């Protein structure tokens, strides 16, 4: 697993009432992914009603969007980060291009105020 991978995770709800299988983007540095049991992910949603400056939209009709492996037009929610045990990652379905990851980096800085 590496930074920029789009993965399917068994995501526990923050209020601990259940779980949902959903896509996410690995945003943690590769050097940390090699030595830690956990990784940091940004959740991905196909609900595009709300557009925030901390979302990076993925257009699946473009070459970059097709590389993501997502089935629906989606957005990376850079304000919705989660540290997850790698055991909860079910599989990798694709990867984001360098250009999209640059947009993710910008959105992460906005979300974190750095």
- Rounded CA separation 22/7 (Å): 8
Nearest to 78 by CA among 50, 58, 107: 107
pLDDT score, position 51: 75
Quick one: pLDDT band at residue 106, thresholds 50, 70, 90? Answer: very high
Range(s) of the domain holding residue 21: 5-112
Query: What's the domain count of the chain?
Result: 1
CATH number at residue 53: 2.30.30.110
Residue 11: what pLDDT? 80
Lowest-pLDDT range of 11-15, 35-39, 66-70? 11-15
pLDDT band at residue 48 using 50, 70 and 90 as cut-offs: confident
pTM for the model: 0.91
Q: Which residues of 74-96 are buried (b: 16+ CB within 10 A; e: fewer)?
A: bbbbbbbbbebeeebbeeeebbb
**pLDDT digits over 14-35, tens only?**
677 878 889 999 999 999 999 9
Q: Look at residue 53 and tell me whether its pLDDT is greater than 90.
A: no
């Amino acid at each position: 697993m590496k930074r920029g991978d789009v993965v399917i995770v068994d995501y526990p709800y923050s209020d601990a009432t259940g779980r949902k299988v959903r896509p996410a983007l690995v945003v943690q540095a590769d050097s940390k992914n090699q030595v830690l049991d956990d990784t940091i992910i940004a959740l991905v949603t196909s609900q595009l009603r709300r557009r925030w400056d901390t979302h990076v939209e993925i257009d699946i009709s473009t070459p970059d969007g097709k590389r993501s492996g997502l089935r629906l037009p989606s957005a990376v929610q850079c304000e919705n980060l989660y540290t997850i045990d790698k055991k909860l990652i079910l599989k990798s379905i694709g990867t984001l291009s360098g250009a999209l990851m640059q947009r993710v980096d910008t959105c992460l800085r906005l979300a974190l105020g750095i």
